[in-house]
Structures are given as structure tokens and as C-alpha cells.
Amino acid sequence: MKTTKLPDGTRVYALRAPEARMLDHHVDGYLQNGIEINDGDVVFDVGANIGVFSVRAAQKGPNVRVFAFEPIPDILEALRLNAAGAGENRVEVLPCGVSNEESASATINTAPRTMG
């Protein structure tokens, strides 16, 4: 597990530092192109990965509440650390996936991690 700084100085945990910065770049794009998060909103981050979107959402106001869903154990560890850094009770981590069907198990395919 590594820590890295995002462009604004926010520190996050990641499996690979370049991946965290790339995720932040994507989140910045979402927030500049139509996604609005206002103080008091409740946000569901489904497939939260390491939680960069969750952290950025929590930064939008002191009363934003985030529910972050991530089923992959290695990634979940980084998400939990990043959620803790967002402030007490700001990001609730749920160690599960989300589906339109009830199931006790599922197969999750992930992209190979090639970034160093």
C-alpha cells in the first residue's frame, strides 16, 4: 500500500500511486461536466475502487454523506483508509457489490494492474 498526493495536496492510499492520480483526473472530469454535489447530499459510490470519488464528494460540504461500495478485498483496504481520512462518519464503506439481482456470489473480472 502506498500513499500519494493528488494535485491539490490531498493524500490518499493506493495500490499504485499513478492509478490514484489517474482516478482523480477522471473524477475532476465528472465534476466539471455535469455532476453536482451540494452540502447535505447523500452520494452512493458504487464500485468505489480506492475511494477517490468518495473523498472528493465528501470535500464538497461538511454535511455530504457518502456510501462507498467495493467488493474486492485488496482495493477495499485502501478505500477504508481513504474513507477514514475524509473525516469521521463522512464515508461509510460497504464491503459488497451492487446488482439488480439477489445473489450470494458473483464473479468479478478486473483489469490487470500494469502501472508501477
57-80 as b/e: b if 16+ CB within 10 A:
bbebeeebbbbbbbeeeebbebbb
Torsion, Cα 79 83 84 88, to 10 degrees, reads -160
| pLDDT at residue 20 greater than cutoff 60 | yes
- Report pTM: 0.87
Residue 13 and residue 68: Cα distance in Å, rounded? 15
More confident residue, 32 or 92: 92
**Once rounded to an integer, what is the mean pLDDT over residues 12-16?**
94
Band the pLDDT of 112: cuts 50, 70, 90.
low
pLDDT score of 39: 95
pLDDT score of 8: 94
- The domain ranges of the chain are 2-94
| pLDDT at residue 30 greater than cutoff 60 | yes
Report the topology of domain 2-94. Answer: Rossmann fold (3.40.50)
In terms of DSSP H, where are the helices of 33-109? 52-58, 73-85
